[in-house]
């Protein structure tokens, strides 16, 4: 239920605006209070009268409406809600948000707010796939903005593909999870994820098979529990989690620097598969084949991020969690790794190829702490993430 939760609903100008009428109805059925804001182009698709009738509230339309400024300034309006929802979010409005433009009421509210924001993009498939929109999307996700959809399907313009706005009930369910005051609300949690790439030369690198799936799932589960999550990821295949502060890096050294930039945090989960070594002096130009023989790579050790943070003398997170991906003597190796690195918990797993865990959708982990080793049954990575997030919430209480 969303009883007495105030939602500022910004409707931008797209054909999907008609679905926002149903969204208002669904939100009100659940007890939410909806303050609608219409952009000028939205008024071409839905009328202010139909929106205000369904919302049972005044529609805000113009930045320079002096009555509104006297009643409630745009700054106050932008902060009076529990959540701002932009549905539909057009390519244009996403571009304005990503670049901090504020030239109408909707974009000004979005720039002035300190309230969480959820957007439901809707646009033509080519516009959605355009590198500019994808760049803006990455920026917005990095700013901690939640995104629901778009869905794939037939579009009003006759094309097929991703770009349709999510259905009102899908948006409602995202709103409900965004509003959940979880056990971790008020806690700042760092998650590292994915592999790192260590360059050999400008075109070649050393990598590993981590997909980043477990790290993304953990970040999402922590967001679900209400944590503020800073997600530092290497070049992973897995989709980036919603609702996190996203920091993308490539090498272990960059990851170390990014992690240091996020401190202090209440808890840190190091699920990244960080390369232990880098090429000591990566070549600045492409290494060519020669008749003189094979190239010889010499290695340098990368900083151990988990050990560095675990052994901090001041400002150490209250809870530091490492991962141990092992192929032999899993529990024994992971137990000594915990002591060696100085972290509080180690989540150990067997990544031998026959387990299908590395790059797969399931995981079978053993949680190692001061209390000993506790093996969990094999389950989906999302389920492992939920259980771990619950444990973290309990430990931080
Ligand atoms: N880790 C890290 N920085 C590194 C290497 C590892 O933060 N340079 C973290 C990983 O994110 C993981 C944990 O340390 O949480 C264990 O990583 P793993 O690669 O298994 O440990 P290693 O130190 O490489 O130990 P070993 O070589 O003995 O397996």
Ligand 1 closest atom vs CA 340: 23
On the question of a cis peptide bond just before residue 88, with omega within 30 degrees of 0, the verdict is yes
Ligand 1 centroid – CA 304 distance (Å): 7
> What pLDDT is stored for residue 304 in this prediction?
98
User: 57-61, 93-97, 140-144, 145-149: which has the highest mean pLDDT?
Assistant: 93-97
Ligand 1 centre distance from Cα of residue 259 (Å): 15
Residue 144 CA to ligand 1 center (angstroms) comes to 28
Dihedral (Cα; 123, 128, 134, 137), 10-degree rounding: 20
Distance CA 30, CA 32 (A): 6
Whether the CB of 129 sits within 6 Å of ligand 1: no
Decide: 272 in ligand 1 pocket, CB within 6 A.
Answer: yes
Maximum Cα–Cα distance across the chain: 81
Cα 37 to Cα 85: distance, rounded to the nearest angstrom: 10
The answer to whether 6-179 and 188-396 have equal CATH topology is yes
pLDDT tens, residue by residue, 6-29: 999 999 999 999 999 999 999 999
- 188-396, CATH topology level: Rossmann fold (3.40.50)
Report the chain's mean pLDDT, rounded to a whole number: 93
* Residue 117 CB partners (closer than 8 Å, separation 6+): 83, 84, 85, 86, 110, 145, 146
Catalytic residues: 157
Per cent of the chain over pLDDT 70 is 96
Centroid of ligand 1 to alpha carbon of 275 (angstroms):
8
Q: Is 88 in the pocket of ligand 1 (CB under 6 A)?
A: no
Is residue 356 very low, low, confident or very high in pLDDT (cuts 50, 70, 90)?
A: confident
Ligand 1, atom 14, residue with closest C-alpha: 306
Domain boundaries, the chain: 6-179, 188-396
Strand 277-279 and strand 299-301: the pairing is: antiparallel
Look at residue 78 in the predicted model and tell me its pLDDT: 83
Ligand 1 pocket: which of 233, 304, 351 to mutate (most atoms <8 Å of CB)?
A: 304
- Flag the least confident range among 119-123, 172-176, 317-321: 172-176
DSSP E strands in 115-241: the ranges are 117-121, 146-147, 151-154, 160-164, 188-193, 198-199, 205-206, 228-233
**Banded pLDDT at 242 (limits 50, 70, 90):** confident
pLDDT of residue 9: 98
Q: Residue 173: its pLDDT value, please?
A: 86
Which atom of ligand 1 approaches the CA of 321 most closely? 15
Q: What is the pLDDT of residue 348?
A: 96
Cβ of 322 below 6 Å from ligand 1: yes
State in words which class domain 6-179 has. Answer: alpha beta
Q: Which atom of ligand 1 is nearest to the CA of 333?
A: 28
Q: Give alpha helix (H) positions in 156-266.
A: 168-179, 213-224, 252-262
Q: What is the pLDDT of residues 191-226, one digit of tens each?
A: 999 999 999 999 999 999 999 999 999 999 999 888
How many Å lie between the centroid of ligand 1 and the Cα of residue 373? 19
Q: What atom in ligand 1 is closest to the CA of residue 302?
A: 8
Whether 306 is in the pocket of ligand 1, judged by its Cβ within 6 Å, is yes
Is 7 touching ligand 1 by the criterion CB < 6 Å? no
* Residue 308 alpha carbon, nearest atom of ligand 1: 7
Note the pLDDT of residue 64: 67
Angstrom distance (rounded) from CA 167 to CA 20: 9
Counting atoms of ligand 1 from 1, which one is nearest the CA of 252? 8
> Residue 94: which residues within 8 A CB-CB, separation 6 or more?
119, 121, 133, 136, 137, 140
Q: Atom 8 (ligand 1): residue with closest C-alpha?
A: 304
Judge whether residue 306 has pLDDT over 80.
yes
pLDDT at position 284: 95
Question: What confidence score (pLDDT) does residue 71 get?
Answer: 61
Backbone angles phi, psi at 277, to 5 degrees: -130, 155
Ligand 1 center–CA 107 separation, angstroms: 44
Quick one: pLDDT at residue 11?
98
Ligand 1 close to Cβ of residue 128 (< 6 A): no
Q: Kindly state if the Cβ of 274 falls inside 6 Å of ligand 1.
A: yes
Residue 276, CB-side half-sphere exposure with 13 Å CA sphere = 2
Please write the tens of the pLDDT for every residue from 33-77.
999 999 999 999 999 999 999 999 999 988 666 566 666 677 788
Nearest one of 372, 373, 323, 374 to 349, comparing CA atoms: 323
Q: How far is the CA of 382 from the centre of ligand 1 (A)?
A: 22
CA of 305 to the centre of ligand 1 (A): 8
Q: Which of 219, 256, 322 to mutate to test the pocket of ligand 1 (most atoms within 8 A of CB)?
A: 322
């Amino acid at each position: 239920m969303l009883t007495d939760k105030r939602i500022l609903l910004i409707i931008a100008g797209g054909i999907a605006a008609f679905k926002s009428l149903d969204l208002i109805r669904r939100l009100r059925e659940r007890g939410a209070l909806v303050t609608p804001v219409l952009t000028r182009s939205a008024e071409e698709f839905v009328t202010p009268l139909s929106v205000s009738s369904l919302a049972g509230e005044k529609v805000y339309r113009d930045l320079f409406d002096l009555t509104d400024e006297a009643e409630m300034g745009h700054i106050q309006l932008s902060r009076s809600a529990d959540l701002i929802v932009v549905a539909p979010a057009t390519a244009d409005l996403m571009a304005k948000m990503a670049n901090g433009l504020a030239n109408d009421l909707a974009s000004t509210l979005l720039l002035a707010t300190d309230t969480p924001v959820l957007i439901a993009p809707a646009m033509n498939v080519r516009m959605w796939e355009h590198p500019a929109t994808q760049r803006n999307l990455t920026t917005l996700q990095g700013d901690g903005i939640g995104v629901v959809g778009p869905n794939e399907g037939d579009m009003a313009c006759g094309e097929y593909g991703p770009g349709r706005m999510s259905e009102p009930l899908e948006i409602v369910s995202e709103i409900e999870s965004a509003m959940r005051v979880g056990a971790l609300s008020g806690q700042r949690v760092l998650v590292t994820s994915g592999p790192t790439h260590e360059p050999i030369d400008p075109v070649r690198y050393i990598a590993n098979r981590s997909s980043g799936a477990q790290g993304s799932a953990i970040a999402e589960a922590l967001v679900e529990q209400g944590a503020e999550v800073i997600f530092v990821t290497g070049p992973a295949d897995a989709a980036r989690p919603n609702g996190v502060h996203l920091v993308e890096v490539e090498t272990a050294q960059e990851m170390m620097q990014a992690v240091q930039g996020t401190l202090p945090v209440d808890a840190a989960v190091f699920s990244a598969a960080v390369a232990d070594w880098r090429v000591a002096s990566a070549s600045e130009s492409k290494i060519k084949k020669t008749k003189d023989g094979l190239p010889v790579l010499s290695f340098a050790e990368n900083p151990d991020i988990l050990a560095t943070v675990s052994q901090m003398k001041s400002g150490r997170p209250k809870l530091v969690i490492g991962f141990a991906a092992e192929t032999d003597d899993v529990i024994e190796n992971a137990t000594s790794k915990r002591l060696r690195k100085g972290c509080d918990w180690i989540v150990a797993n067997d990544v031998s190829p026959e387990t299908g865990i590395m790059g797969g959708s399931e995981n079978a982990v053993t949680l190692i702490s001061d209390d000993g080793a506790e093996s969990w049954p094999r389950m989906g990575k999302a389920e492992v993430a939920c259980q771990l997030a619950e444990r973290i919430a309990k430990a931080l209480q």
